[in-house]
Structure 1
Amino acid sequence: MQPTPDAAREWIDTVRASAARGIGPATSNQTLAEYGNAHMQLARRGLEPKTTGPYLAGWRLRVIPALGHLPVTMVTNGAVDRTVYAWIADGEGRSTVKNSLAILVRVMEQALRDGLITVNPARVKGWQRQYQLAEDELDNPRALALRDWNALEQLAAALVARSHEQYTGWGDVVTFAACTAARIGEVSGARVRDIDRRNWIWTVRRQTTPSPGGLADKNTKGKVARRVPLIEEIRPMIARRLLMVGDNPDARLFTGPRGGRITTAVLRDATHWDELVRALGYKHLRRHDLRHTGLTWLADAGVPCTSCGRSPDTAPCRPPSATSTPTCRASSVPDGTSAPTSPGSVHLPRHRRPCPQPSGGCRKCTIHISGAVILVPSKTTADLRLFLSNRPHVVPRY
């Protein structure tokens, strides 16, 4: 029953318009909960299995209690807007609100395709501005990254000491993630064949992430493989791990103490991460902040921020250019500096010798990545044991 005659006439006109499009009164008067539950399979098509769970939780726990009693045709932009801001006022996190709103958008988009509505009212904007950044992040974005190489070594050693039977693999994972600005899932997905032992380049092709039914290997977040240079400080560790896993090209470079796959939750629990980082004075530090550390070191070394975001992160809007992907060709030193430096070199131990060709013309010892120059050895011996026992200098031996 409608509250006023005008509302009743408007409702009759709406029903007639729907009937003219072949939509019966029962369908046009369905509540949002009824319609969404009936058409959820269509609404969530194309979603990855990992995303389906959080979306359905948002639908069940937030969308239905707030808007499920309304007919689909009466879900307005104002109703959705007030609901979203009520979720924020209740203390729901940004990801929780985003997932709940995303599934509502999909359901209303299906209603739009079915002809029940003429515009999707769930596409609200500006709600994310209600979330304030952490105070440390506002005042100093570098507060979310480790200070330097010594701090990284201290963290890695402490994690190993705190783990069961002092498994050194946890320290290797942390060091590798910070020095390559990689996600933990990408580190877990690294295989022997992804490592170029001659030029010390890691080709990131996959990530290992939790999915319904267990862990699964999937594409990188940007759906595009990328090449990451491996700085000199971590090459002995990588060589040691390559020796440990043997000659199987599909073997994982990093695994747990019993050979299992690594996730951020496994790393947290095995090393008592939360307790340990608080004891070290890094109460803000999450596993993903190892990636922030690598990106911060790149920026401090002079790599443009746009290149830091393009090369290690999601796929660019256009195919990657030669300047955004590491290559093993000669390159000149930016701004005519006397000696090339590695990304993040301002945070690394200063024990490297200058290149004998300071002009940057040394074709054998430089890698170009978006304006920064990385030094690599001219060649790598086939026997990694020899490499470990006799570390090559940063410049080639002439």
Structure 2
Amino acid sequence: MALPDWATFQRLAAALVDASADRYQGWGDLVVFAACTATRIGEVSGCRVGDVDTEQWVWMLRRQTTPGPGGLKDKGTKGKRAREIPIIEEFRPLVLRRVNLARARVDSDPTLENSPVDARNEAYLDARLFVGPRGGRIATGVLRRATHWDDVVAQLGYEHLRRHDLRHTGLTWFADAGVPAAPVAADRRPHRSADHPAVPPPGHKELRDDGGKLSQHLRGDTGPQLAPTPRAVQ
């Protein structure tokens, strides 16, 4: 299921933060990022600072974090290929805040205190954009337990809402905005064959245009009614 409007979505993000231990804002940031990029929780968890271009405002989705023998591990995307996703204006402040937090984690890491500059820069680019309150990797089960997801969505009247529905909400927004074959759904495109040649990846201009359509839709009279200053991106 997809959430009906932006106000409901913001209430969900805020309620998840309020229900978590120490009211950890990272849970709300993760939920906003997942919906606005129409991606899976594991894909958001796998995002590194070096994957985000804050000049072109594009996220190169390269990996996902999934449960496996011995705990959480990183692997390739579900579609087995990287894809570019536009970062729309409405949640860029959130992204910059997460980048700054990642820099702070690296700067305060005692194991890097005496490391050369190149090693520290490499660690910064490899730092995760989204981590748990103790700096650990995130998976959908971790999000569910830490935020008391089931209780929160039931209290909001959406007891059937799953973590995967954040992606569905984003895909619905892109489709309603008139974005054909949304780049976020690239892993659903047909594989290369004689009958189905591979679809070329969109260029940065096309990605910006797609992002602009989504922004207009979010703020439009018939869209999800994005508030001028959403709480989760302050």
Give yes or no for TM over 0.5.
Answer: yes
* One-letter amino acid matched to 2:37: T
1:290 aligned partner: 166
Rg comparison, structure with higher value: 1
Instruction: Report if aligned partners of 1:188, 1:252 keep a CA contact under 8 Å in 2.
Output: yes
Instruction: Report if aligned partners of 1:208, 1:216 keep a CA contact under 8 Å in 2.
Output: yes
1:230 aligned partner: 87
2:213 aligned partner: 341
Aligned residues: 201
2:107 aligned partner: none
Question: 2: distance between equivalents of 1:182 and 1:312?
Answer: 11
1:202 Cα deviation after fit: 0.4
Question: 1: distance between equivalents of 2:202 and 2:183?
Answer: 14
CA deviations 1:50-72 (Å, max 9, x no partner) are: xxxxxxxxxxxxxxxxxxxxxxx
2:199 aligned partner: 321
Question: 2: distance between equivalents of 1:330 and 1:225?
Answer: 17
* One-letter amino acid matched to 2:214: S
2:155 to 279, 284, 296: 279
CA distance 1:222–1:330, change in 2 (3 Å) = closer
* One-letter amino acid matched to 1:296: T
2:136 aligned partner: 260
1:217 aligns with 2:95: no
2:182 to 281, 305, 308: 308
Question: 2: distance between equivalents of 1:330 and 1:309?
Answer: 10
1:231 Cα deviation after fit: 1.0
1:204 aligns with 2:82: no
CA deviations 1:281-310 (Å, max 9, x no partner) are: 111100000000000111111123xx1387
1:153 Cα deviation after fit: 1.1
Instruction: Report if aligned partners of 2:37, 2:184 keep a CA contact under 8 Å in 1.
Output: no
The unaligned stretches of length 5 or more in structure 2 are: 104-120
- Give the TM-score normalised by the residue count of structure 2: 0.78
Q: How does 1:53-68 map to 2 (within 5 A)?
A: none
* One-letter amino acid matched to 2:199: S
Q: How does 1:373-392 map to 2 (within 5 A)?
A: none
* One-letter amino acid matched to 2:149: W
1:150 aligned partner: 7
SS across alignment from 1:147 = coil
The RMSD of aligned alpha carbons is 2.6
Q: How does 1:1-398 map to 2 (within 5 A)?
A: 144-246=1-103, 248-304=124-180, 307-308=181-182, 311-314=185-188, 316-318=190-192, 320-322=198-200, 325-329=201-205, 341-342=213-214, 344-345=217-218, 346-349=223-226
SS across alignment from 1:329 = helix
Percent identity between matched residues is 56
SS across alignment from 2:205 = coil
Instruction: Report if aligned partners of 2:171, 2:184 keep a CA contact under 8 Å in 1.
Output: no
Instruction: Report if aligned partners of 1:160, 1:167 keep a CA contact under 8 Å in 2.
Output: yes
SS across alignment from 1:282 = coil
Question: 2: distance between equivalents of 1:238 and 1:297?
Answer: 20
CA deviations 1:82-136 (Å, max 9, x no partner) are: xxxxxxxxxxxxxxxxxxxxxxxxxxxxxxxxxxxxxxxxxxxxxxxxxxxxxxx
SS across alignment from 1:261 = coil
* One-letter amino acid matched to 1:317: H
Question: 2: distance between equivalents of 1:279 and 1:316?
Answer: 40
CA distance 1:166–1:224, change in 2 (3 Å) = same
SS across alignment from 1:347 = coil
SS across alignment from 1:207 = strand
1:150 Cα deviation after fit: 1.5
Question: 2: distance between equivalents of 1:329 and 1:166?
Answer: 38
* One-letter amino acid matched to 1:287: R
1:149 Cα deviation after fit: 1.7
Question: 2: distance between equivalents of 1:261 and 1:310?
Answer: 22
1:314 Cα deviation after fit: 3.6
Answer 1 or 2: higher relative contact order, Cα 8 Å, separation at least 6.
Answer: 2
Question: 1: distance between equivalents of 2:190 and 2:56?
Answer: 25
1:315 Cα deviation after fit: 5.1
